[in-house]
Amino acid sequence: MPTDKGTTNKLCVFTNTNFHFGQGVSIVARPETARKLVDDRLLMKSRYEYPSSDVKYEAIDRPALGVGLFVKPEHRYFAGETIMVDYPTLVLPSGAVDSVDLNLLNNLRWKALLQLSKETRARTRGLAQSKGGYMDEIVNVFDTNAFTHEKAGDLHDIIFAKAARMNHNCLPNAFTRTNHSSFAMEVIALRDIRDGEEITISYLDASTESTSKERRNKLSSDWNFDCGCSICAPGKGTKEESDRRREKIAKERKLLQSSRGDAAKIMRHVETMLGLFDEEGMIMPKAEYYALAAHASKHLGRRKDAMEFAELAKGQWNIIFGPESRECASMDEFQLELGAA
Ligand SMILES: C[S@@+](CC[C@H](N)C(=O)[O-])C[C@H]1O[C@@H](n2cnc3c(N)ncnc32)[C@H](O)[C@@H]1O
């Protein structure tokens, strides 16, 4: 493990060129963090990825939007299906690193890149660079493409070279999922995705009710593009409708928060919110509200409704966290208790 001592606050570059069938990975981290990442065998866990003939998406380059991933003709994904499992090529500390000289940090970033194989280096350097003006190439690649995840107790900016090709949509049809015990990142279909459709994720928190203006500011400052999705594109009235709906969602959420202890009120606000989520096409936040509706229905003595809402929550959590998740287990328990009562 080569280290750069002194003013780097003991940051080091760790490279494993065998990682994930020879793809390789380089990590810039403090030695104790790097040791944990390796000791925890995060790097050793490299699950089987589909043979390429089974991959149901393809990368297509379009003017103005750059590369995006699309479902191949005569293929489709079902809600909850794994679209890809991707593994990192580069891992850097996220944000500012205390008492680390920026030039030295940049040298370490380059060293991390250059220690990878020629192919992986080329794939990483070939990713989009959205920042104009003078900006160091590697900083630009990270600013445009990195996912921020917590691993071994620290936040890291991570390059996943396949997943980085997914474009943003404010109403995405896919999302990414990671866990603390592996470096793999899964891309999961949030709803059914038909052939020819672009696979998109949200670069923003897909659960918030941010307005088009707030989203535009963030996307343009952090990724340098104007979103043209169905709820951002001007001129069709949809943008205004969506903004009004999102304001209503925010208002209902506040009313819901002040309804603690009153099951009837909770139920009213939750049902309104679920209706608004459906109208808006927001899928991510629904599970939590189905679960709330299940508990409120139980308090109101509406057993059948409680069972149905619990089933709906489970269906959504199954997609978002997987069937083994504690969220699904909690709804199973809820239904068991309800059945036994
Ligand atoms: C992580 S990359 C996505 C893949 C990229 N299109 C490529 O060519 O590799 C992020 C960059 O893609 C572009 N992009 C992503 N989503 C977009 C969208 N909805 N509309 C326009 N450009 C978008 C922006 O330039 C953004 O900075």
Retrieve residue 13's tokens. 């570059």
Question: What pLDDT was estimated at residue 3?
Answer: 41
Residue 265 CB: number of other CB atoms within 10 A?
15
Cα(168) to ligand 1 centroid in Å equals 7
Question: What pLDDT was estimated at residue 43?
Answer: 57
Q: What is the DSSP letter of 83?
A: E
Pocket test for ligand 1, best of 167, 185, 232 (most atoms within 8 A of CB): 167
Q: What is the distance between the alpha carbons of residues 300 and 288, in angstroms, rounded to a whole number?
A: 19
User: Would you call 29 exposed, middle or buried from its count of C-beta atoms within 10 A (0-12, 13-18, 19+)?
Assistant: buried
Phi, psi of 56 (to 5 degrees): -95, 5
Query: Tokens 């990682």, residue?
Result: 19
Farthest-apart Cα atoms in the chain, separation: 67
Helical spans, DSSP H, in the chain:
19-22, 31-39, 102-114, 118-125, 137-145, 212-223, 238-257, 263-280, 286-299, 303-320, 326-340
Model ipTM value: 0.99
Q: For atom 15 of ligand 1, which residue has the closest CA?
A: 167
Retrieve residue 21's tokens. 């069938």
The model's pTM is: 0.91
Q: For atom 12 of ligand 1, which residue has the closest CA?
A: 167
Cα(9) to ligand 1 centroid in Å equals 34
Per-residue pLDDT 10s for the chain (341 aa) are: 444 444 445 889 999 898 888 899 999 998 888 877 766 555 555 555 544 567 999 999 998 889 999 999 999 999 999 999 999 999 998 876 666 788 888 899 999 999 999 999 999 999 999 987 778 999 999 999 999 998 888 889 999 999 999 999 999 999 999 877 778 899 999 999 999 999 999 999 877 789 999 999 999 999 999 999 999 987 777 999 999 999 999 999 999 999 999 999 999 999 999 999 999 999 999 999 999 999 999 999 999 999 999 999 999 999 999 899 999 999 999 999 998 87
Question: What pLDDT was estimated at residue 99?
Answer: 66
Cα(339) to ligand 1 centroid in Å equals 49
Cα(278) to ligand 1 centroid in Å equals 27
Question: What pLDDT was estimated at residue 44?
Answer: 53
Give me the helix-helix angle, 326-340 and 303-320, nearest 10°. Answer: 160
Q: What is the distance between the alpha carbons of residues 42 and 65, in angstroms, rounded to a whole number?
A: 34
**What residues does ligand 1 touch, defined as CB less than 6 Å away?**
65-68, 127-128, 130, 144-145, 164-165, 167-168, 223-225, 227-228
Question: What pLDDT was estimated at residue 8?
Answer: 46
Question: What pLDDT was estimated at residue 233?
Answer: 87
Cα(21) to ligand 1 centroid in Å equals 28
Q: For atom 23 of ligand 1, which residue has the closest CA?
A: 65
Cα(318) to ligand 1 centroid in Å equals 29
